[in-house]
Chain A
Amino acid sequence: MKEAPLKLLLFGNPNAGKSTLYNALTGGHARVGNWHGVTVSALEGEALLLGNRVQIADLPGVYSADGLSMEERAACAYLKEHPEGVVCLVSECAALPRSLALLSELAKGWRAILVLTKKRQFVRQGGTLEERELERCLGIPVVSTEGVPPRVLRERVGEALLRAGRLRGASEEGRSLPKEAYTRAPMRLTKFDRLLLYPAAAFALFAFLLASAFFLTFSPVGPGGLLKGLVEALMIRIKEAFQTHIPSPVLCSFVGEGIVGSVGGVLCFVPQIAMLFLFLTLLEESGLLSRLAFFTDGTLSRAGLSGRAVFSLLMGFGCTAAAILSTRGLDDKKMQRRVIWCLPYLSCSAKLPVYLTLASSFFQDQFLAALLLYVLGAGLSFALLLLMSGEKGAPLVLEFAPLRLPEAKTVAKALCFQLKQFIIKLGTVILAFFIASWLLSSFDFAFRFVPVEESMLAHLCGGLKWLFAPVGMEDWRIAYAALSGLVAKENVAASLELFFPVFPYGARSAFALAVFVLASSPCVSAVAAAAREVGVKLALLYAVAETAGALLLCYLVYFLTGLGASAILPLIAALILISVFGRTFRAGIHRQRGYFAQKLHRRA
């Protein structure tokens, strides 16, 4: 009988499958992805293995003992702090020699067990592996996870844990394992992979994927649009059903406009948000993301980032908060800060309802309008990155995982997780916000049920009228709706639905408001995520600066749309040319001075 609970430390290369193992053992659902940097900190949980309570820590991935990224250093430090734990080396079969070298370098004195993942893929590519032979020559228990259900896996790992021993043998890299135990099949490019490496083919594929993602999600004739229509119809029926059965005008208003109207209005967009997350997940699971990083590293370096950032940037289109959390895997803090700074301009999926609501006021085709705003946001963030002076970050070293067809089960699980998060967020933060705002807007200070103009909210927000006066909307309700986005972006659409069944202001104002929402500070959860990464002070500073900037941009856009297209296009073109050439010019000077080589050698 053990007195202290056993401690199992999941350790290994990025993407080896540690998080999958963690979930199987503890029954939790840590976010798993085909990209390093998805485990953002050491996850600690408990599991019941063979009747013993075991504490399990899922550490971020480590490539080598002298870690390049902050995550790697954190993982190594955690290991040193827990010498009493048993190291569970999690390794893909294909990367076993490397992982063993890592183990002997970093965890020499620890007791260890070996868990092997992705055996089927390894065997399919021509490798061979015998667990019993491996156990004999390594001196530590070996468990393979391929095709093993979680319950059986828990038993096997629990049993291995009790037999944990110290790794036997030499510790230099590239140690050779006996042929009976292990033969390797190195990673090679498939025919499709080779084709994809031609820039034209890659560009065509990614452009096609992006375009189809947008079309399927936003177009009224695509599945996204059609599902949305269905949900809308359902919401209307529910609202009518309630309203015919409720006598009290107060309750009727609460249920009708308050709950069903606003919350329902946002629920309508869930199908489209689900589709966006689906595309992102497919890109991630198939391995196409590393190919994308290879091609985008050139352009992103111009902006002071590297190809590694492409995942965080793409995630920014799904959820800013999650994207900010994923920047943890980036190699250096300066680049991380720059990514966090520009992420809010990449419109997250919660801004989509707002764009679509406002789009009907200034564009015939909602699909085109949404696209325009997304492109504008991307352009804005790129311009911002170009302006911010960049020191070169850590160099890009990115391994290519084999391309594979995403497993339906994994994708479905990831998707359900994202949707669950979204709906929970909807349930708690937004509903609370709505009830509060309905209360404030339906009652006056004497708690009488009054129309909106006489409510508490009207008085409180009276002073905010002037905020949007320069763009033709001197209306406290607009100011209120726009600022409600600072709590959660979904609120803006819901507030607009609450106050204006039909948007009364013209096209220019609608567009200016959309631009404000695009550029303002992200929601509270994103600011909180940023605070975790760069500190509360800096996160709040970003939030304030972004909102102020958004307001100014909103005025500027209103002014420009008043000028007419003939003045804008040359202006924009001039701006783009200046920034591109300005940056290249500067880079040219640095290159001449051998700037890059110096920078590299100066790093300790």
Chain B
Amino acid sequence: MSVCPITSLSKGMRAKVAGVEGDGALRSRLAALGVRLGEEITLLRVSPLRRTYLVETQDTIFALGKEAASCVKVER
């Protein structure tokens, strides 16, 4: 099991959240959307320029910019 940012997953892959980096504001925002330790997360789509990531959690579906996405660490 390796830990990597969600940006290194490919489209359609599912993984478990292993950690969330970044400042407190970003972390609580992400937690409110379902990005919590141990929760499942799926990478639905990546935008053509590989800058935006569409992510699905148990709670909802949302888009993440590259900086925010690199803060979401998952294990696969």
Mark A residues whose CB is within 8 Å of B. Answer: 63-68, 95, 98, 101-102, 173-174, 186-189, 197, 199, 290, 293-295, 297-299, 301, 306-307, 392, 394-400, 596-597, 599-601, 603-604
Contact = CB atoms under 8 A, between A and B. Distances in A.
B33 A399 contact: yes
A499 to B, nearest CB: 49
Interface residues of B, number: 37
B60 interface: yes
Contacts of A290: 63
A295 B36 CA distance: 26
B63 A68 contact: no
Contacts of B31: 64, 173
Contacts of A95: 60
Interface of B: 21-33, 36, 44-45, 47-52, 54, 56, 58-68, 70-71
B49 A307 contact: no
B26 A197 contact: no
Contacts of B23: 600-601, 603-604
A398 B47 CA distance: 14
Nearest to B48: A199
A188 B30 contact: no
B62 A398 contact: yes
A63 B32 contact: yes
A15 to B, nearest CB: 12
Contacts of A392: 67
A98 B67 contact: no
B45 A197 contact: yes
Given A392-B67, A396-B68, A68 B25 contact: yes
Contact of B65 (A66, A187, A397, A400): A397
A298 B63 contact: no
Contact of A397 (B26, B44, B50): B26
B60 A399 contact: yes
A186 B58 contact: yes
Instruction: Give 8 nearest A-B pairs by CB, closest first.
Output: A396-B65, A298-B49, A395-B68, A298-B51, A64-B28, A395-B67, A399-B62, A66-B25
A98 B54 CA distance: 20
B68 A299 contact: no
A186 B57 CA distance: 9
A496 B60 CA distance: 53
A183 B32 CA distance: 18
Contacts of A293: 63
Contacts of A173: 31-32, 36
A265 B22 CA distance: 55
A394 B60 CA distance: 21
Contact of A600 (B51, B59, B67): B67
A312 B42 CA distance: 30
A392 B50 CA distance: 17
Contacts of A67: 25
B28 A396 contact: no
Given A63-B32, A294-B54, A397 B64 contact: yes
B65 A301 contact: yes
6 contacts: A67-B25, A293-B63, A301-B65, A396-B52, A400-B63, A603-B23
Given A64-B31, A173-B32, A396-B68, 4 more contacts: A63-B32, A188-B61, A294-B52, A397-B64
User: Which of A67, A101, A297 has the largest number of chain B CB atoms within 10 A?
Assistant: A297
Given A64-B29, A68-B29, A98-B59, A295 B47 contact: yes
Contact of B29 (A63, A101, A596): A63
A95 B33 CA distance: 10
Contacts of A394: 26
Given A63-B32, A65-B28, A397-B33, A600 B22 contact: yes
A68 B25 CA distance: 5
A306 B30 CA distance: 18
Contacts of A596: 66-67, 70
A174 B60 CA distance: 13
A597 B51 CA distance: 15
Given A197-B45, A297-B51, A597 B63 contact: no
Contacts of A604: 23
Contacts of B28: 64-66
A187 B33 CA distance: 11
B61 to A, nearest CB: 5
Contacts of B66: 301, 395, 596
A21 B49 CA distance: 40
A102 B67 contact: no
Contacts of B27: 66
A298 B48 contact: yes
Nearest to A396: B65
B25 to A, nearest CB: 4
A457 to B, nearest CB: 53
A354 B48 CA distance: 38
A396 B64 contact: yes
A63 B26 CA distance: 11
A395 B64 contact: yes
A197 B62 CA distance: 13
Nearest to A99: B32
Nearest to B61: A400
